[in-house]
Amino acid sequence: MNNFGYKQASNIDDAVTLVAASEKTSFIAGGTNLIDLWKYNITNPAELIDINHLNELSNIEQLENGGLRLGAGVKNADTAYHPIVEQKYPLLSKAILAGASAQIRNMATNGGNLLQRTRCYYFYDPEVPCNKRNPGSGCPAKDGYNRMHAILGTSEQCIAVFPSDMCVALAALDAVVNVSGPEGARSIPFKEFHRLPGDRPDLDNNLKKNELITSIDLPEKGFEGNYSYLKLRDRHSYAFALVSVATTFTLDGSIISDARIALGGVAHQPWRSFEAEQFLEGKTASEENFALAADLILKGAKGFGDNDFKIKLAKKAIIRNCLMALRPETQLPGAQPAA
């Protein structure tokens, strides 16, 4: 039995003040990952600060610059089925609906999705070493069972992957994360939000201590014309990605003028290669060019034994998803994926 305190925050400033009052205090929103971590004794907060009822976090609103602001407290399902998200940012809607289960998407919040922790099996077992859970103790995954683990951006310290689907689309869309903390409010470009493990695998992201995610901004450009999200996994639902790919294009006839390709399931953060995207710009949208872009994205990829297959799988997934993005009709509910 774990005893813990509980307080409801009355607004964002109150939430930040309450969470900063003690070292062992934690925000709770949907709780879909926090409760898992707690049950496995990976975390053990002494007090929870409930942010579920904060109106400031609960809206989806259009921005003057033509973009869309997603409140951090909005549920993943409500975001995916919001009419503007469905129409203008279908890549995001599709990625969210590829994640978890309907029940979890009904509980999980947008802010929480960004903060979910790796599903590395060793991380969830407090009986074994793990540099992310207990810095300096070692990484049994490197020489152990590592089928789900990273092939890009790994370090000697950690080879875990970040498990979100939603964040792969947010990375491709160049979203911005808005946060509030003891030092005030600031905005973080999505590509700077999550971290590679380096020598601090205990840190998943670049949030400062006691900062709260308040919203996520989507730019005006939604890529509703040519987009695709492809998730390859062991089961058709309720499974984390072995490899996922979010692709968007702006096309001028058959010529690509803007390309975005983000990968999930392969690194400690959603993975983008700006070199590969620049390579595609001005080129014909062809399978041959997509294969060359895939090689650039996967440059330096390295397997650890059980996950070696991911390198080939990722290349095929990138090519296939780029082809699917050329055929938006394949994104309609019930449509069959392109061959």
| Residues binding ligand SF4: number (CB under 6 A) | 14
Under the criterion CB under 6 A, does residue 266 sit at the interface with ligand SF4? no
Region from 88-96, 154-162, 186-194, 235-243 binding ligand SF4, contact rule CB under 6 A: 154-162
User: Would you say the C-alpha torsion 24, 183, 65, 91 has a positive or negative sign?
Assistant: negative
Under the criterion CB under 6 A, does residue 57 sit at the interface with ligand SF4? no
With CB under 6 A as the contact rule, the residue among 80, 96, 115, 159 that binds ligand SF4 is 159
Cα 258 from chain centroid (whole Å): 22
Under the criterion CB under 6 A, does residue 141 sit at the interface with ligand SF4? yes
Q: Of 185-214, which residues contact ligand SF4 (CB under 6 A)?
A: 201
Region from 41-49, 128-136, 230-238, 298-306 binding ligand SF4, contact rule CB under 6 A: 128-136
Under the criterion CB under 6 A, does residue 130 sit at the interface with ligand SF4? yes
Under the criterion CB under 6 A, does residue 132 sit at the interface with ligand SF4? yes
With CB under 6 A as the contact rule, the residue among 19, 77, 115, 160 that binds ligand SF4 is 160
Under the criterion CB under 6 A, does residue 158 sit at the interface with ligand SF4? yes
Find the shortest distance in angstroms from Cβ 223 to ligand SF4: 33
Find the shortest distance in angstroms from Cβ 302 to ligand SF4: 14
Under the criterion CB under 6 A, does residue 139 sit at the interface with ligand SF4? yes
CA distance 248 to 225: 8
Nearer to ligand SF4, 159 or 213 (CB): 159
Nearer to ligand SF4, 77 or 148 (CB): 148
Region from 50-58, 102-110, 139-147, 309-317 binding ligand SF4, contact rule CB under 6 A: 139-147
Find the shortest distance in angstroms from Cβ 212 to ligand SF4: 25
With CB under 6 A as the contact rule, the residue among 27, 122, 193, 290 that binds ligand SF4 is 122
Q: For binding to ligand SF4 (CB under 6 A), which residues are involved?
A: 118, 120, 122-123, 130-132, 139-141, 158-160, 201
